[in-house]
Amino acid sequence: DQPRSRGLGDVYKRQGNIWVSHSYKGLYKIVLSDDLKSATKINSYVGSNGLPNELVINVVKIRNELIFTTPKGVFKYDVFKDKFIPHQDFIKIFGENRNYHRLIEDILGNIWFSIDSEFGVIKVEEKGVFNKFKVMYFNQIQDDLVDGFEHVYSFDDKNVFIGSEKGFAHYSPLDQKNRDFSFKILIRNVTNITHADSTFYWGNPTEEKFDFNYKMNDFRFAFSCLLYTSPSPRDRG
C-alpha cells in the first residue's frame, strides 16, 4: 500500500502491507515482519474508520494508489490517520453515494468502471494526467456482465476484451467510425383529448390542414422510429 495521496497522478512510496477484502467478513490490513515471513499485526476495518459499510468492499490499485470501492461510494486510505476518506477525483466525475461494483485500470491507463447500472471507461487523454479525460458508456452490455466479477483485459490499444455471461465482448478503441444515427419519425395517430378522445389523424397520407378552438389545446401523439441499432455510447468529459 502507500501513504496519503494528493491525487490519482501521484507516485507513492510502498509500505509493504497486504490488504485483504472479503465480501462477507470485511476489510483487513496485514502488516508483515521485516523478513516477510510472518504477520506482526492484522487490523480489521469493520464498521469503522470512515467506511460506510463493512461488506462488499473491493480493493484495487489505480495510479499506484489503493482505491476502496463500496456500495455507498469510493474511498482512499489516509495512512497517517488510519482512516478512509471519500475519493474526490471520482466523486467529481460520478457524484456521491454511488454503488461501485468494480474499477479496473488497463495497460493504457484507462479506467473501466461498473457503477450502479452503468458500465464504461474513463479514457485518459494524456497519460498520467487525470484532469484530461473523456467518459464513454457501454450500458448496452451492462446486463450481460458478471456482477461483482466484472473483468476487462486490454491486449493492446486496438483490442479490448470484456468478460460477460455470454462469453467475451470485443471492443476496438481505434475503430471510431463516423456513424450517422439520424432517423425518421413516423406519426401513427394524433388524438385530441380535451373533452373526449377524438382521433383526427391515423397515419393516413394527407395534406389536410386542421384548425382547433383555443380550448382544444390538449393532444396525444403516437409515433415510432425506424432505427433498429443501439445508440452510440454516451460521452462526456
Quote the pLDDT of residue 9.
Answer: 32
Does this model's pTM top 0.75? My answer is: no
Residue 189: closest CA among 176, 180, 181, 198: 198
Give me the residues of the chain with pLDDT under 50, please. Answer: 2-13, 231-237
Which set of grid coordinates corresponds to residue 140? 448496452
Tell me the per-residue pLDDT of 178-226, one tens digit each, with 9 for 90 and over: 555 566 778 888 888 876 667 778 777 777 788 888 888 888 888 887 6
At residue 113, the pLDDT reads 92
Q: DSSP states of the chain as a string?
A: --S--S-TT--------EEEEETTTEEEEEEEPTTSSSEEEEEEESS-TT-S-SSS-EEEEETTEEEEEETTEEEEEETTTTEEEE-HHHHHHH-SS--EEEEEE-TTS-EEEEETTEEEEEEEEETTEEEEEEEEE-GGGGGGS-TT---EEEEETTEEEEEETTEEEEE-TT----------EEEEEEEE-SSS-EEEESS----------TT---EEEEEEE---SPPPPPEE-
* CA–CA separation, 67 and 133 (whole Å): 19
State residue 87's pLDDT score.
92
| Residue 3: per-residue pLDDT | 39
- Report pLDDT for 108: 82
